[in-house]
């Protein structure tokens, strides 16, 4: 059973456009929601994270929007650049337990 | 500060063999988690070790095992390899409960 569902599986965006990746979860005990970025041949790297008591968090061009009632959260990449082309994973954690990851979104930003 | 290192980076084994993968966490990090990454499945949690004790375990068969040493270095072992065990195995270390730092992974191919 997939604890965290991620969509879309792949995404193609023009340079300068907005990339949006969505995740949904079921377990209301989750209390930490990170996004990871992974380049080929590398391990995932933490990009940005949010806790459920906040509805939005912004770091540079990256924003997480969190909807607690809908049990959904999303990653927005503003002014997408070719260097943002990577695989993105959402995840959820119930502190003290294991992380659950989404299945990943392959983002391609076209110059 | 050196990052998480994993050895070997690539491994080719045949069905029925066993394999041991190694992970050296970031200095000072006492928690080490292991994940299996396959296309379409994302990251699947194997287990987490903290101070030489297994703290969490994912839903994998008993062929997958691990351990952690007093210097926080960790190993995972897979016995009686199956074709479906071909994957990228990632190790992540953390100082606090939430922020995980991933290594580059070990690419295991089972023939």
Per-residue pLDDT tens over the stretch B2-57: 899 999 999 999 999 999 999 999 999 999 999 999 987 889 999 999 999 999 99
Q: Average pLDDT, stretch A82-89? A: 98
In percent, the amount of chain A with pLDDT more than 90 equals 93
What separation in angstroms does the CA of A95 have from each of A32, A34, A98, B53, B77? 8, 13, 8, 17, 26
Structure tokens at A33: 């929601």
Q: Average pLDDT, stretch A62-66? A: 97
The closest CB to that of B104, out of A36, A43, A102, belongs to: A43
Chain A environment of B90 (Cβ under 8 Å): 43-44
Which pLDDT score is estimated for A69? 94
| Torsion of the alpha carbons at A8, A12, A13 and A18, rounded to the nearest 10 | 10
Q: How many CB pairs under 8 A join A and B?
A: 52
To which residue do tokens 């375990």 refer? B57
């Amino acid at each position: 059973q997939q604890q965290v569902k991620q969509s879309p599986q792949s995404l193609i965006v023009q340079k300068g456009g907005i990339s949006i990746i969505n995740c949904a979860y079921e377990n209301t005990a989750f209390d930490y929601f990170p996004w990871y970025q992974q380049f080929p041949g590398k391990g995932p790297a933490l990009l940005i994270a949010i806790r459920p008591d906040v509805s939005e968090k912004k770091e540079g061009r990256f924003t997480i929007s969190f909807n607690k009632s809908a049990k959904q959260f999303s990653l927005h990449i503003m002014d997408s650049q070719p260097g943002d082309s990577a695989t993105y994973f959402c995840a959820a954690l119930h502190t003290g337990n294991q992380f659950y990851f989404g299945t990943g979104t392959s983002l391609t930003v076209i110059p | 500060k050196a990052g998480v290192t994993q050895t070997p980076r690539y491994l080719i084994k045949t069905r029925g063999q066993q394999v041991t993968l190694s992970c050296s966490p970031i200095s000072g990090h006492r928690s080490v988690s292991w994940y299996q990454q396959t296309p379409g499945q994302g990251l699947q949690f194997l287990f987490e070790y903290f101070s030489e004790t297994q703290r969490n375990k994912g839903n994998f068969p008993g062929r997958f095992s691990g351990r952690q040493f007093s210097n926080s270095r960790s190993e995972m072992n897979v016995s009686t390899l199956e074709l479906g065990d071909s994957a990228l195995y990632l190790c992540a270390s953390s100082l606090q409960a939430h922020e995980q730092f991933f290594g580059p992974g070990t690419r295991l191919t089972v023939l």
